[in-house]
Every structure is written in C-alpha cells, then in structure tokens.
Amino acid sequence: MKKTTFLLLAALFVYSSNAIAQKINYGAKAGLNVSNLYGNNQDKNSLVTFHAGFFTQIEISEKLNIQPELLYSRQGADLNSLYKAKLDYISIPIQFKYNVLPKFFLQAGPQVSFLVSDKAVFYDDNIGTLDTDAKSVDFGFNTGFGLNLGAGIFTEARYNFGITTVAENPDIKNGVLQISLGYIF
C-alpha cells in the first residue's frame, strides 16, 4: 500500500510540475558581496568579498519565475580594526522573480546558508587566525531587482537580511549586499 501511494504521489508531482512549469532554464552567476554583521554596538566596517554559483529558473507564468540557487558566498566584517571575521557559506536562496517590464524584474525570497569555514584573521601577526563561534546554519531573507541585458545575460542587486543570529555573544546577524552578473544557458 505504501509503494502504491508513493508511486501515485510521485506521478502526481511529476504531472503537476510539468503542468505548472512551462519552461526551465539553467545558469551561472558571480559577483561582489559587501557584507557586515549587525546587532550590537561594536564598531564594524564592511567586508568586500565575492559569491559564485548556479541556478535553475522555473517559469510559472509570463511574469513570474521561481529561481532556486546554489551559491558559495564569503561574508563577515572588519571588527574594530582588530580582526576580520570571514564566514564562508554554501547558500541556497529561493527567489521569486516578478518581471515588471520585459527587461526589469523584482525578486524576493528566503535563504538558508550552511557554514563551511569561519575564521577570525587578526591584524596582529602574533595572534594569527582563530575559529569564530559562528553557528552552522544561517537563515535570511533576500530582496532586490535586476535587468535582463539580452542574449541570456543579466545583472542584479539584492540584499540579504539575516534572520537568525550568527553568534550569541555578541548577538549579531549577517547583512549582505550582492551585486551579480549572470548568464542563462
């Protein structure tokens, strides 16, 4: 009975996916991160880093797409000019893209990120590099806009608002501005 129910649900899912999704595209993107850590009164400066990865664009209607992504993203901040907190994540944003005009779109959606590496790189060479106390999973919400430049090329800008705390002491959250250039295959 369980196998029959599973097969029936799987067939229904495949059929409904094909009925809903009219077109599926794949692509790659990369760009600049301007990141910071928010939530306490420490003096922090933004850290300029990068992100890169792949995405799938699923057309729901002429105006609406869903775009799940898989990105490598370096984030963090320069804290008190004492050290740089470098937090490397594998991020999975799911963007809902609304085409306002043929070349202009708005986007918003949730993001979950998994910590790959966390380092505090001190300016004092005697201290060196230490691990931070960053949590292994980070949740955020993205919002932004973009332009389709033609021939499959696009550019976009989005901001990731951290929802969960990166670390408890001090109680801080990620904030990341991403500017990307991408190509749809």
Q: Mean of the pLDDT values across residues 28-44?
A: 86
What's the confidence (pLDDT) of residue 21?
Answer: 53
C-alpha pair distances (Å), 10 with each of 14, 19, 74, 78, 109:
6, 14, 37, 48, 26
Q: Which residues pair with 87 in a beta bridge?
A: 75, 118
pLDDT digits (tens, 9 = 90+) for 105-126: 999 999 999 999 988 888 776 6
Q: Burial code of 175-184, b = ≥16 C-beta within 10 A, e = fewer?
A: bbbbebebee
pLDDT at 140 over 50: yes
Look up the pTM and report it: 0.81
Q: How far apart are alpha carbons 126 and 119 in whole angstroms?
A: 16
pLDDT higher for 129 or 24?
A: 24
Give the pLDDT confidence of 51-109 residue by residue, as tens digits. 999 999 999 999 999 999 999 999 988 877 778 888 999 999 999 999 999 899 999 99
**pLDDT value at 175 more than 90:** yes
